[in-house]
A and B are shown apart, each in its own frame.
Chain A
Amino acid sequence: MLLSDIRNILDAKVLTGEDEAALSAIDIHMACGCDLMSDVLAFVKDQALLLSGLINQQVIRTAEMMDIRAVCFVRGKVPADDVIELAKDRGIALIATEMPLYNACGILYDKGLRGKDK
């Protein structure tokens, strides 16, 4: 699923400045919804999107270590500027939706974006 489609489905704002073309160039194959970075680090999959209600630097660091391409913040949370700058520097796209975590994950799942089986 293209990040541009995910942005539309979740009615999300783009925080890292990617234009339409850049968003459509990011193809997401898997997603993981989690506030615990410890659990995210146990989830290894390619081309993944992380949905999280946590907005600190370590979310970006965790994404960086896992080669996660994009992070969606939920519940209307927006991280501080230095967190957004770190993401830009590391080539991680950030979007933000008003939806709570459960709903955001549920809607994407319904549209065909799956998580890890085990």
Chain B
Amino acid sequence: MIKHYEISGTDFANGGEASSDFKTVLKKLGVPMDVIRKVSIAMYEAEINTIIHGHGGTCDAEIMPDRVVITFKDSGPGIKDIDLAMQEGYSTATDQIRELGFGAGMGLPNIKKYTDDMQIETSEGKGTTVILTIKL
């Protein structure tokens, strides 16, 4: 089963709707709570990144018998140095984003922590694709 979501790049207030909806889907399927929480946290971090850094995009979340694969795609500015972006505390977030409670530079390290696999494909000026895999 695949769920498709459009992620608005301007509607920060409603950010997290995709993660919220997908969490409901996993609950209905009876996925164990600890697995759901890992998926939810990683997906929400990635969704917020797609909004605040990628200026919006799409999300496809697929449930397979043994794993969940979630792909976020945006056409934003891309990531210049992935190794740097992966470091805890590195962030290019603006003060405005910080006032909203984000921009600690913890998202990507957190996604890595809660997933079994994370792939980032990015190209400067073209956009970023982040693929998360969590085993069921």
Chain B proximity of A16: nearest CB distance (Å): 17
Main secondary structure of the interface of A (DSSP, over half): helix
**22 interchain pairs (CB within 8 A)?**
A36-B104, A38-B102, A38-B110, A39-B104, A41-B45, A41-B110, A56-B13, A56-B100, A58-B15, A58-B16, A58-B101, A59-B101, A61-B16, A61-B20, A64-B20, A64-B23, A64-B40, A65-B23, A65-B37, A66-B37, A66-B40, A90-B20
B13, B103, B105: which has the most chain A beta carbons within 10 Å? B13
Interface assignment of B14: CB less than 8 Å from any CB of chain A: yes
Evaluate whether A61 and B104 lie within 8 angstroms (CB atoms) in the complex, with A41-B110, A66-B37 already known.
Answer: no
Chain B proximity of A96: nearest CB distance (Å): 17
Write out the residue numbers on chain B whose beta carbons fall within 8 Å of the beta carbon of A38: 101-107, 110
Interface assignment of B72: CB less than 8 Å from any CB of chain A: no
In this complex, how many residues of chain A approach chain B with their Cβ under 8 Å: the count is 21
Evaluate whether A56 and B101 lie within 8 angstroms (CB atoms) in the complex, with A41-B45, A62-B44, A65-B40 already known.
Answer: yes
Interface assignment of A27: CB less than 8 Å from any CB of chain B: no
Q: In the docked arrangement, what's the CA distance between A56 and B41, Å? A: 18
User: A residues within 8 Å of B by Cβ?
Assistant: 35-39, 41-42, 44, 54, 56-59, 61-62, 64-67, 82, 90
User: B residues within 8 Å of A by Cβ?
Assistant: 12-16, 19-20, 23, 33, 37, 40-41, 44-45, 48, 100-107, 110, 113
Given contacts A36-B102, A61-B20, A62-B44, 5 further A-B contacts (CB under 8 A): A58-B101, A59-B101, A65-B23, A65-B44, A67-B33
A41, A59, A62: which has the most chain B beta carbons within 10 Å? A41
Task: Name which residue of chain B comes closest to A53, CB basis.
Answer: B101
Q: In the docked arrangement, what's the CA distance between A37 and B33, Å? A: 21
Q: In the docked arrangement, what's the CA distance between A39 and B14, Å? A: 20
Write out the residue numbers on chain B whose beta carbons fall within 8 Å of the beta carbon of A67: 33, 37
Write out the residue numbers on chain A whose beta carbons fall within 8 Å of the beta carbon of B16: 57-58, 61-62, 64-65
Q: In the docked arrangement, what's the CA distance between A90 and B27, Å? A: 13
Q: Which of A41, A58, A82 sits near B100, CB closer than 8 Å?
A: A58
Evaluate whether A37 and B110 lie within 8 angstroms (CB atoms) in the complex, with A57-B13, A58-B16, A61-B20 already known.
Answer: no
